[in-house]
Structure 1
Amino acid sequence: MEKSAKIYVAGHRGMVGSALVRKLQNEGFDNLVLRTSKELDLRDQLAVSRFFDEEKPEYVFLAAAKVGGIVANNTYRADFLYENLAIQNNVIHSAYVQKVKKLMFLGSSCIYPKMAPQPLKEDYLLTGLLEPTNEPYAIAKIAGIKMCEAYRDQYGCDFISVMPTNLYGPNDNYDLQNSHVLPAMIRKFHEAKLNHSPQVELWGTGSPMREFLHANDLAEACFFLMENYSESQLVNIGTGVDVTIKELAETIQNTVGYEGKIHWNTDKPDGTPRKLMDVSKLHGLGWTHKIDLKEGIEMVYEDFKNQIVRKM
C-alpha cells in the first residue's frame, strides 16, 4: 500500500478497528477514512454506496460487525444474522463497484465446525456442523468469506479473508454480562481486590484450553497480510499456543494482585474443551506473534485501570 493511499477502516472504534488504525498511523499512513456508526450505517445499502462513490477508498479493512457473547448471540439470532450479512454485502459489493484495490474481511474462529479436529486448519471450513449458540453469526461470517472468494473468482477482485483467534486488548468489552472470558476475569479479580472479597467464583472446571492474541499483534498480522498475501483461501491469525482457563485465571490473579481464592463452580458449563488455531500457513508466510500472554495481560490491565475504571 502506498503511504498516500486512501484507506477505509470499517469499525475503527472497536478493539480490532482501533488497533488497525494505530498500526497504520504508526507506519505513516495518514489518509485514513473513518466513520462512526452514527455517521454511516453500514446496514444501509444506499448510504454505503454513496459513501464509496464519494470517498473512493483504495484499500478497505472490514472490521465492522455486530458482536457479542454467547447469551447475546443466542438471544438475538435474527439480528446477528441479518445485520452482519447486510454490513458485509454492502461494503464488499461497493468495494467491487468502486474498484477498490484490495479489501480484507475479518471473520471469527466460530466459523469452524464445533467438532473439528484440533488445531483448526483453514481446510476445515464447512466440513461439519457449527456450534448452535452462535450459528447465525458464524453463518454470516462464512458468507463473507465466500463472498470475497466469489468476487475474486468472477470479477478478479483482490479480496482476502482472515480468521483471528480469541482477542484481547485496548477498547475491549468489560461488561460482565456479555464480555469474553479474559476481560471478564480482569474485571472480576480487580473488583474482588478492591472489595477485599475472600474468593472469586469462576464457571466450570478450569480445564478447557483457549488461545489468546493481543489486538496489536492482530493488527500487525493484518498489515503484513495486506502487503504480502493475495489468495482466495482464508488465513488463520493466532499464536498457535493455548493455555487452560485455570492457567489464564491464575495469570490474571497474579497480575491484578488479588490474594483471595478462586472457587470453580463445576455446576456451570465448561464449553468446548479446546479451540486452537493452526497457524502454520501464517508462519509459512513469514509472520509470528510478538506479545506473549503474560505481557499482554499486564498491558491490558494497565489500560483497564486507566481507561475503564474511571468510567465505572
Structure 2
Amino acid sequence: MSSEKNVILVTGGSGLVGQAIKTVIEEEAAKGNSNETWVFCGSKDGDLRDRAQTEVLFDKHKPTHVIHLAAMVGGLFHNMAHNLDFFRENMAINDNVLHTSYKHKVKKVVSCLSTCIFPDNTTYPIDETMVHNGPPHTSNYGYSYAKRMIDVLNRGYHEQHGCLFTSVVPCNVFGPHDNFSLSSSHVVPALIRRMDDAIRNGDQTFTVLGSGKPLRQFIYSLDLAKLFIWVLRKYESVEPIILSVDEEDEVTISAVAEAIKKAHGYQGQIVYDTTKADGQYKKTASNKKLRALNKDFSFTPIDKAIQDTVDWFKKNREQART
C-alpha cells in the first residue's frame, strides 16, 4: 500500500471477521500513527444488494481500498433449504461491490471466499488452482457458486481494466462476535450457544447433530484478521490465496465438541445423533502458498481460541447475535 492517506472500507464490518479486523486495527492504532482510515460498515449502513445504496456508501466514504466481507451466510441446514436465495443475493452483493469499486477507482479489493467453493469430488489437500475443477457439494451450491463468481469477476476486472481485485479463501472461522443463532449459525458458535443453554437448563446429556467424525480446519477470527490485513498491504496478485491453519491442525467435530465442553466446564455427557446429515467428510486445504509468502505466522492453538470464544460469549450473551 502507498504511503499517502488510505481509506479502507470494510463491508460486512459488523460481522465475525469485520469485528476481528477492527480489534486488530485498534491494537495497531494504540501503538502509533497510521496513514490508514478504516471504515466498518454493516447492513444498517446500506443494503449492498441494491446498486443505488452501494453507490451512496462509496460516495460517502470515498474508499481507496475495500475489504469485502458482506454476504448472506448460514449453516448447513439453512443452506440446504435456501440455495436459490443464497445464489441470487450473494451474486447481487458481489457484483455491486466490485463494479462500484471499479467505478470509484478503488486501488485494491480483497474479497472473502470460503472453502466450500471447492469441488465436491476432488483430491486432498485442496489448493488455489482447484476452485473451478467441478461442481461444489450439493448442500450449498447456491452460496458456493456465488462465491466462485467473485474469482471470475476479479479476473475479468483485471484483464479488461487492470484492477487489483483479489480474494482469500479462509477455512472455517470462529471467534468473538460470531453468529450464535440456533437457526443459521456454523458449527462452533452453534455448539457453544447450545451447550450454554444445556448448562442453564441443567441437561445431563448434550446432543451433537451428526456422527462427530467429519474433519475440519478451524481458524480463530483474530488470526484471520491479521492475515487479511497482511493480504491487503502485501499480496499483489489477483489469484486467490487460501488462509488456513496447517493440514496437521485438522480436527474432528467431536474433538471440537469436547474442547467446548472443557471450556464451558460442562459436566454432562455428549451424544451423537447419527440420523442427521454430516455434510462433507473433509475439506482439507493446503496453506503452502501462504506459508511460502508469510513463513513465520503463528496460529492460536484451537483449545485457547475456543476458550477465549466461550468466555466472550458468556460475557456478551445478551448482546451477541443469538
Normalising by structure 1, what TM-score?
Answer: 0.94
Would you say 1:14 and 2:23 are equivalent positions? no
How far the C-alpha of 1:92 sits from its partner, in A, is 0.7
CA distance in 1, matches of 2:306, 2:148: 30
Would you say 1:305 and 2:314 are equivalent positions? yes
* Aligned partner of residue 270 in structure 2, secondary structure: strand
After superposition, the Cα gap between the structure-2 partners of 1:294 and 1:150, relative to the gap in structure 1 and judged at 3 Å, is same
Give the aligned partner of residue 219 of structure 1. 225
Describe how 1:155-234 pairs up with structure 2 within 5 A: 155-234=161-240
CA contact (8 A) 1:42 1:91 kept: yes
After superposition, the Cα gap between the structure-2 partners of 1:86 and 1:265, relative to the gap in structure 1 and judged at 3 Å, is same
Q: How many residues align?
A: 312
Would you say 1:284 and 2:292 are equivalent positions? yes
Deviations 1:112-171 (A, max 9, x none): 011222221111111122111211111111111111121112211111110111010111
Would you say 1:106 and 2:112 are equivalent positions? yes
CA distance in 2, matches of 1:74, 1:245: 20
Give the aligned partner of residue 139 of structure 2. 133
After superposition, the Cα gap between the structure-2 partners of 1:151 and 1:267, relative to the gap in structure 1 and judged at 3 Å, is same
After superposition, the Cα gap between the structure-2 partners of 1:225 and 1:36, relative to the gap in structure 1 and judged at 3 Å, is closer
CA contact (8 A) 1:48 1:90 kept: yes
* Aligned partner of residue 274 in structure 1, secondary structure: coil
Query: Structure 2: which 5+ residue stretches go unaligned?
Result: none
CA contact (8 A) 1:11 1:64 kept: yes
CA distance in 2, matches of 1:35, 1:210: 30
CA distance in 1, matches of 2:158, 2:291: 24
Output the aligned Cα RMSD: 1.8
User: Which of the numbers 28, 35, 38 marks the counterpart of 1:32?
Assistant: 38
* Aligned partner of residue 47 in structure 2, secondary structure: coil
Give the aligned partner of residue 259 of structure 1. 267
Which range is displaced more, 58-67 or 26-35? 26-35
Q: Which amino acid aligns with 1:244?
A: T
Give the aligned partner of residue 127 of structure 2. 121
CA distance in 1, matches of 2:159, 2:258: 48
Which range is displaced more, 30-39 or 248-257? 30-39
Give the aligned partner of residue 67 of structure 2. 61
Identity of aligned pairs, percent? Answer: 34
After superposition, the Cα gap between the structure-2 partners of 1:204 and 1:106, relative to the gap in structure 1 and judged at 3 Å, is same
CA contact (8 A) 1:168 1:213 kept: yes
User: Which of the numbers 35, 41, 50 marks the counterpart of 1:44?
Assistant: 50
* Aligned partner of residue 45 in structure 2, secondary structure: coil
After superposition, the Cα gap between the structure-2 partners of 1:243 and 1:40, relative to the gap in structure 1 and judged at 3 Å, is same
CA contact (8 A) 2:75 2:187 kept: no
Would you say 1:94 and 2:100 are equivalent positions? yes
CA contact (8 A) 2:76 2:279 kept: no
CA distance in 2, matches of 1:38, 1:178: 19
Deviations 1:53-78 (A, max 9, x none): 34321110001111111222222222
Q: Which amino acid aligns with 1:98?
A: H
Q: Which amino acid aligns with 2:6?
A: A
Normalising by structure 2, what TM-score?
Answer: 0.91
Give the aligned partner of residue 257 of structure 2. 249
CA contact (8 A) 2:112 2:168 kept: yes
Which range is displaced more, 86-95 or 53-62? 53-62
CA contact (8 A) 1:193 1:257 kept: no
* Aligned partner of residue 12 in structure 1, secondary structure: coil
* Aligned partner of residue 38 in structure 1, secondary structure: helix
Query: Structure 1: which 5+ residue stretches go unaligned?
Result: none
**Structure 1 runs (4+) greater than 4 angstroms displaced:** 309-312
